[in-house]
A and B are shown apart, each in its own frame.
Chain A
Amino acid sequence: MTASVQTPQHEAGRPEKAAIVGQIIEADRRRRRMARATFVATWAAIIGGLVAVLAIGGAINLDFLNEGPPWWRFILGEVDVSADGISGIAIGPLHFVITGAFATILISVVAITLAVGFALLGSVGRLSKNSVVYAVATLYVSLVRGTPLLVQILFIWLALPQIWQGFGKVDALIMGTFAVAFNYGAYMTEIFRAGIQAVPNGQREAAAALGLGERRIFARIVLPQAFRIVIPAIGNEFIAMIKDTSLLAVIGVQELLWKARTVGSQNFKMLETLLLAALVYWVLTIIFSFFQERMEKRMSRGDR
């Protein structure tokens, strides 16, 4: 199409110009397709290479996972999960991936819900004009963010029963979920506080000028808008939390990592089970990231 470049002002150049525009668009599309293909190929090469090396070298042997009933019978409910005392190890090693992932998701969902509650209270406290409330909320954030999650989990599980024996009778699953929620609530307190402060002051003024009371302004005008602002951040926290629930393996909560370790040590297959567990965490975070992205797009589009 060099001719059209040489005679740009010529009338006959017009359709050729359109052709060039078409070519540019096509080239652009091709470049993007190539980039995507290269990306996928690189991942496949690295991951496939690693798996191949391990498998050919004999390091990985997944045969043990086929013992017991096939995994899909658990999903279909043909095999009673609850009949098995410890996490399905006895009835098929692959079972651990499914029940473990389920336990991890369950813990994460319950904990993030609780954490939102803690964060809501915490952020209201952090913005409170009452000095005592403000001090308590600030202490919560400082203390929890200033100490390791693992220490908090161990403290709640091992140290609290020393204060009151009743704590010792509570299930590790409940105590552990609470510990994670309490920890994440502190981090999310600051997210919520920032979200509440990000709502323009004009919104409060407009509501006040209409005669709405302070509580109602907060509940109906400020909070819904703050929520919209913090939802992406809550998504990030949720994804981080999915991985952090693995710390609960330390206190014997039967989530994904605990099951992987137990199955692995029983079969002397730590490499395989830990790889599988890691893979499941990875897939879970990818899935939730995908949903998060879609939700963010939807929210930014309609702004409803």
Chain B
Amino acid sequence: MSVPLGPIVLEATDIEKYFGPNHVLHGVSLAVRRHETVMLIGRSGSGKTTFLRCLNFLEEPTVGSVAMGDLRIEADPLQRAGSDRKRDIRQLRQQTGMVFQEFNLFPHMSVLDNCIEAPMHVKGVSRDEAVATAERFLDKVQLLDKRDEYPDRMSGGQKQRAAIARALCMEPEVLLFDEPTSALDPELIGEVIVVMEQLAHEGSTMIVVSHEMAFAREAADRVLYLEGGSIVEEGPPEQILDDPQEEPTKQFLRRFLSEGAKAPPAHATEPTSPFDDPIAKATSLHGGGGAG
């Protein structure tokens, strides 16, 4: 927001995905510009997480392509392509950091080792350099004092911040967030959102699947509403959240906002009680949930 948008860095074209006979993505396209923060919202089962996972080929799209810089990778559902494509995918993954709902930190490594593993062994950076980078980003997420701690001894919020630092250490072009706060206790959501907002304001390029509407207002440049595997509506956050044009979007937001205080049916583990942490309150309406 504070940083003007640059050229397109990542472009997904007509992504379709079938899980067996289930058609979960009906041709979703998205072009993300440098420094842009795009937020994907929608009820669970709308395909938003699947779409995000198609962008770095953790999920193999059935149709479509993803382009980034010189790379252009076509869907290859029958795995006919050879090792060149695998190399391209690894190349793409090096330039896209991902943050998962369940953190997925490596439990047998310290926070620092989590952060330097990929820079050292994928980018081939020297250990000293990798450690220096890791310390810089751990400081950014305020975990420098936990550098030698093991993930199992940290809180959920600390783990997720460490996971963000790990992704940042590859200095990726684009950051992908897959419901980064959905597995967190309500009082821990705020500390993760604060870090994400800081990143967005500093000009990171981010694609975020989340239900944190306050984050959308505060940090997103564009909000996409997905339903049934298609983009129903997109636009700046004020427009989508306050003045949606399409009926499905209106319905979703109406139900979402009215059910915000209660547990929405889609996600049994969603917090039910309002909480008093001012940071968390300010940054989250925290209703809704579920793996999109």
Contacts and interface: CB of A to CB of B under 8 A. Distances in A.
A219 to B, nearest CB: 10
B73 interface: no
A205 B102 CA distance: 11
A19 interface: no
Contact of B104 (A203, A212, A224, A303): A203
A211 B152 contact: no
Contacts of B104: 200, 202-203, 205-206
B150 A304 contact: yes
A202 B90 contact: no
A97 B163 CA distance: 56
Interface in A213-264: 213, 216, 220-221, 224-225, 228
B98 A220 contact: no
B205 interface: no
Contact of B100 (A205, A221, A225, A302): A205
B26 interface: no
Contacts of B93: 208-211
Contacts of B118: 207, 210-212
A200 B105 CA distance: 11
B107 interface: yes
A216 B107 CA distance: 16
Interface string A165-208: 00000000000000000000000000000000000101101111
A216 B122 CA distance: 10
A225 B108 CA distance: 7
B171 to A, nearest CB: 12
Nearest to A216: B121
A210 B118 CA distance: 6
Interface residues of A, number: 21
B122 A210 contact: yes
A303 B107 CA distance: 8
B106 A205 contact: no
A209 B98 contact: yes
A303 B152 contact: yes
A224 B94 contact: no
A201 B152 CA distance: 17
Interface string B174-209: 000000000000000000000000000000000000
A299 to B, nearest CB: 11
B46 interface: no
Interface string B79-123: 000000000001101101110101011111000000001100110
B107 A220 contact: no
Contacts of A302: 150
Contacts of A206: 98, 100, 104-106, 163
Contacts of A212: 117-118, 121-122
A210 B100 contact: no
Given A209-B93, A304-B108, A202 B102 contact: yes
Candidate in A211, A213, A302 with the most chain B CB atoms within 10 angstroms: A211
Contacts of B163: 206
B230 to A, nearest CB: 25
Interface in A45-95: none
A194 B163 CA distance: 27
Given A205-B100, A221-B106, A225-B107, A210 B170 contact: yes
Contacts of A208: 58, 93
Nearest to B122: A211
B166 A210 contact: yes
A212 B116 CA distance: 12
Contacts of B105: 206
Contacts of B90: 211, 213
B116 to A, nearest CB: 11
A303 B118 CA distance: 22
Contacts of A211: 90-91, 93-94, 118, 122, 170
Contacts of B94: 210-211
Nearest to B92: A211
A230 to B, nearest CB: 14
B283 interface: no
B122 A220 contact: no
Q: B90, B104, B117, B150: which has the most chain A beta carbons within 10 Å?
A: B104
B147 to A, nearest CB: 15
Contact of B117 (A209, A210, A304): A210
B133 interface: no
Nearest to B106: A221
B56 interface: yes
Given A202-B100, A202-B104, A213-B90, 8 more contacts: A206-B106, A209-B98, A210-B117, A210-B118, A212-B118, A220-B117, A303-B107, A304-B150
Interface of A: 200, 202-203, 205-213, 216, 220-221, 224-225, 228, 302-304
Interface of B: 56, 58, 90-91, 93-94, 96-98, 100, 102, 104-108, 117-118, 121-122, 150, 152-153, 163, 166-167, 170
7 contacts: A207-B106, A208-B58, A209-B97, A210-B93, A210-B122, A211-B90, A213-B90
